[in-house]
Chains A and B, each alone.
Chain A
Amino acid sequence: MSSPALSLKVVAKRQESRLIASFLLEPEGEFRPFRPGQFLVFRLPGGVIRNYSLSGAPDAKGQYRITVKREAMGQGSGHLHDQVSVGDVLQAEGPRGDFVLHTESPRPVVLLAGGVGLTPLLSMLHHLAQTDRRTLFVHAVENGADHPLREEVLALAARPNVTAHFCYRAPTDQDRAEGRFHSEGFLSKATLQALLPLDDYDFYLCGPPAFMQACYAILRDLGVARDRIAHEFFGPASQLDPAPAKPAPVASQGNDVTFLAANKTAPWDDSPSLLDFAETQGLQPAFSCRAGVCGTCVTRLVEGSVDWTDDPLDPPPEGHILLCCTRPKGAVVLEL
């Protein structure tokens, strides 16, 4: 986390499907290698911070590729799609992330991607295509118009150890005419069963929550052990909550501490830390060490500033604080 920011020059921008575009990025300084599955943390204008998985080959020295879906009302993706063009420079940190291909494992691999969730898995596929490990790449999309990077996946599937399977939820007549997909509807237990000879696989899942939940249930139903299934949810984290509250922006004043997501404001009471304060207000932020080393209680500071009571082991990303070792300086607004 402590690594300095990367300045990334956009050297190419390519539309991959109706809503998805790729950006090829060249660091202005040194290229930091990444592990297949990792992401970069982008700092976009207006304090917007977004993680985008690296979708390219991990050995593509000197260049990163991100592949971004334009989300309705998406501040990050909207900016990238509309405002950013070749020659622009983006600020990012990383590479980061623990959802990475377990390269030492001897087991065959199944990569299950939903929509734009293919990005970290595609990077893994690039790596696996250079090995002899048997690999099945399954990509579930809406139809041919929403199917990014199809040709790239097919080219990798030309390798004898790699098989690709495309599942279209609602194929168009053209998709049917061109035979662009292998199965139709939602990815089913029967489909997976048919694709997977009896074996001990490593599974990697990435996609929207509903897709992930469905795949996970199918795999568990097929008797796959939990620890064989690695996964990463895609999309804003708020999607994981069934009904995230959308509070109205609050004007901060005096020594008030405002918790945006919880829609709660209370005057600071000189608690030992913002974490203790949040707890006395009935919130239950995730924590572990309460001493600035584990990073669990990292939270975005929307407004205001804080004093640190302990040096964090790793400084949090720009605009973020650790609740356990900070106290507010005046009024603060937290994204919590």
Chain B
Amino acid sequence: MFLRNAWYVAAWDHEIGAGLVPIKVLGEEVVLYRKTDGTVAALEDACPHRKLPLSMGRIKGDQVECGYHGLTFDGKGICTRVPGAEKIPHVAQVRSYLIVERYGLLWIWMGEADKADPAQIFSVDHWGDPAWGINKGESMALDCNYLYMTDNLLDPSHVAWVHPTSFGNTAAEATPLNTTVGEKGVTVWRWMLDTPPAPFYAPFLKFKGNCDRKQHYEVHYPSHAIIRAIFTPVGTGGEGKPLHPDVFLMDSYNFMTPIDENTTKYYWFQMRNFAPDDAEVSAKFAKSVRGAFEEDRVVLAAVHKGMANKRNPHLDLKIDVGPLRFRKTLSKMIEDEQARQVAAE
């Protein structure tokens, strides 16, 4: 089940060039292409005549021509040409989707067009701030339902076992978690005091020795997360304290787009408060992050498969409070949305 009235990432901006690009979002086949003014159009990827994917056709200026019988559609999905027909049937049209470009990503609106508000796109702090660097992101397909990924991103505990050589450290096993349920989503967080820095971050810290570390895992409905990592010299960390001049801050943005119930497209990038223009630092982080996310990918595919077996019960533990609260509210939102839909029909 998916929340439809929401912005999802359709693609990286640079992935849409001169060709027709088929994607699948919330189980719907969509074709993306760039119009002559540089903006991107998104149409239902099926000609209404014999349902050949429009992505198998060709771009004609700002329009798409079907590769079977030449039916042509503009960027709004309206049919402009039916070769051989005297008149164009009014019903000849395909659904079009709103696309907004932001943060180098193309955001698609899958719900009712009149409810689309670009101001609701997940906000990225320090975007364009010259003091902050960007670890350029990538994407990967996950063989799991998107909610296993939102579970994962509300679960700071798994790092001790899944990512022992990168994000994890032993304190991550022992320190209790706090869960904050907000209007936009759920946050799970903890301060770990006087702890060795995680191996992944250690080389980039401006101070030596142990640190106070905050894990802040925040997921917004339907499936977008910011993971904030804070490393600060011992004694300077703690909730509400001012930031130390040597503080290390890294904000990791994670956007999940359900392809269907069983697969998820995962997009990410990070913002950091140091070495803004250092391409080597960016590349190093990008590589390490990719490696760590590969570890998640393997685990989550197996979890999806394991949880599909409903014969034997599974356990819910205290560490699942955040993920379960998130799922509960999201499923209520989806239920309400579907109820409204039914009522409107």
A residues contacting B by CB (< 8 A) are: 98, 102, 227, 230, 288-294, 296, 313-314
Contacts and interface: CB of A to CB of B under 8 A. Distances in A.
A289 B321 contact: yes
B317 A313 contact: no
B309 A294 contact: no
Interface of B: 309-313, 315-318, 320-321, 324-325, 328
A288 B310 contact: no
A140 B85 CA distance: 68
Contact of B317 (A98, A227, A288): A288
Nearest to A324: B318
Given A288-B315, A293-B324, 10 more contacts: A227-B311, A230-B311, A288-B316, A288-B317, A289-B315, A289-B318, A293-B316, A293-B320, A294-B320, A313-B325
A102 B312 CA distance: 13
Contact of B324 (A98, A102, A296, A313): A313
A296 B318 CA distance: 12
Contacts of B320: 289, 293-294
Contacts of B317: 288-289, 294
A291 B317 CA distance: 8
Contacts of B324: 293, 313
Contacts of A296: 316
B318 A290 contact: yes
8 contacts: A98-B310, A227-B309, A288-B315, A288-B316, A289-B315, A289-B321, A291-B321, A293-B324
B261 to A, nearest CB: 12
A126 to B, nearest CB: 21
* From A227, A288, A292, residue with most partner B Cβ within 10 Å: A288
A102 B309 CA distance: 10
A227 B313 CA distance: 12
Contacts of A230: 311
A230 B321 CA distance: 29
Nearest to B318: A291
A313 B313 contact: no
Contacts of B316: 288-289, 293-294, 296
Contact of A227 (B312, B321, B325, B328): B312
Nearest to A98: B310
Contacts of B310: 98, 102
**10 shortest interchain CB distances as A-B pairs:** A294-B316, A291-B318, A293-B324, A291-B321, A288-B315, A289-B316, A289-B318, A289-B317, A293-B321, A230-B311
B315 A294 contact: yes
A296 B317 CA distance: 10
Nearest to B323: A293
A148 B98 CA distance: 59
A308 B325 CA distance: 17
Contacts of A227: 309, 311-312
Nearest to B327: A313
Contacts of A102: 310-311
Contacts of A288: 315-317
Contacts of B315: 288-289, 294
Contacts of A290: 318
A293 B321 CA distance: 6
